[in-house]
Structure 1
């Protein structure tokens, strides 16, 4: 597997011969933790020389670090409209497909008692209109 450092040559995964540069997020990243759990099955990222771990959790530096033979991972919403990168399908599915295998649940947290603004937001978020907007990525 590329992210464990076992596969380091692009020709082993259908590309041209050359080292694959892996851009990893720092361990404090929720995206890092989710990737580790879902993709690596709870295992560790590799420590091979071709794997670079960023100092801070931000998508822009990750995108800037990517080169011709590089791969990284990000939350789909953060890269969906980027022209400089492309999404790699998993089992022929992209992250916007219902059958995409890697998804994470996020939750709303608020301080009790909720303010009126929080109540209004939660009312919208749980309404059919709000649910449609979230599923559409708006």
Structure 2
């Protein structure tokens, strides 16, 4: 009898151990399933990007890329996107040499690089930006003809009273030769005329500050930098508005490019996909003063040729 009880006790113990083991196995499977599901959801939400990249170049595009990078990194805590200015020429040369992962530019690569260098780059057009001549508010001018603008920037007109403004000397504020904003303004506002010597600044933010504080100052900025501290000039009576740019009535605008050397991969691809997502295109692009490329009624190629879409 005692033996039977012992045997029975052993059997009960074995059954209990098997039940516990089965329970643990089930919990482990459940946990693994939950972890797998969580990882899948994270990937679907775009939160799985990792690594570090640099995006260098255009100061006109910089505010948009910086804000998009902040939002992207908030959703991807293991990713780092470093954004720097320096001008379109710098961005293009750095991405071409492999010194940066993305080169931001207001101009097509063919306009700044050799044909061989440009052929290695892949263009990602992320939006359009308008550019305008801006002046210190005290000059009392808000409209110029294109010829007056050319005469001012080439040094033929040196006092604002000659175009109906205050009796104050014109002070030019220019961007360096590497600037895509300068190249765009020269091509489409000045008809290719060479600018006279003036104060030269690399940063659009610094240009805006100098113009707002310097009597008689005039320069040019991407519309994304306008904050009310300077007066934006109409060109031949046409305002640099989104509607006028989209239809081609206002001519001083450029595509904003983000170039990669070869097809984008890894984190660079993830970030560029985000730049082209509705979250950026329908929100940030508009809020920060840019124009979605899809809103344009016209197109422009690297040679400046305009076609209707």
TM-score by length of 1: 0.76
Match of 2:243 among 86, 95, 98: 98
CA shift, 1:102, in A, is 0.6
Distance in 1 of aligned mates of 2:155 and 2:203? 22
Matched ranges for 1:13-52 at <5 A: 13-46=163-196, 51-52=197-198
Within the candidate set 85, 109, 132, 2:230 is matched to: 85
Alpha-carbon separation, structure 2, partners of 1:131 and 1:97: 15
Gapped regions of structure 1 (runs ≥ 5): none
The one of 247, 257, 266 aligned to 1:107: 257
Displacement over 4 Å in runs of 4+: none
Counterpart in the other structure of 2:216: 69
Asked if the contact 1:59/1:74 (under 8 Å) is kept, the reply is: yes
Higher relative strand content: 2
Please give the root-mean-square deviation of Cα atoms over the aligned residues, in Å: 2.4
Deviation at 1:2, TM superposition (A): 0.8
**How many Å apart are 1:53 and its aligned residue?**
3.4
Match of 2:13 in 1: none
Measure how far apart 1:135 and its partner are. Answer: 4.7
* Cα distance, 1:32–1:11 mapped onto 2, change above 3 Å: same
- 1:62–1:129 distance in 2 versus 1, CA, 3 Å: closer
Corresponding residue for residue 271 of structure 2: 121
Deviations 1:83-128 (A, max 9, x none): 432222223313x422132101121212445333333333333344
Count of aligned positions: 130
Q: When the two structures are superposed, what TM-score results if normalisation uses the length of structure 2?
A: 0.38
Residue in structure 2 matched with residue 53 of structure 1 by the alignment: 199
Question: When you count helix as a share of all residues, which structure comes out higher?
Answer: 2
After superposition, the C-alpha distances for 1:15-56 in whole angstroms (9 at most, x for unaligned) are: 12222111112222221121111112112113xxxx5131x4
Return the alpha-carbon distance in structure 2 between the equivalents of residues 113 and 17 of structure 1. 55
- Structure 2, unmatched stretches of 5+, are 1-150, 245-249, 289-309
Alpha-carbon distance between aligned partners in 2 of 1:89 and 1:106, rounded to the nearest angstrom: 22
Q: Contact 2:161/2:168 (CA < 8 Å) preserved in 1? A: yes
Structure 2 SS opposite 1:12? helix
Matching residue of 1:6? 156
Mapped to 2, the partners of 1:127 and 1:6 lie a distance apart of: 47
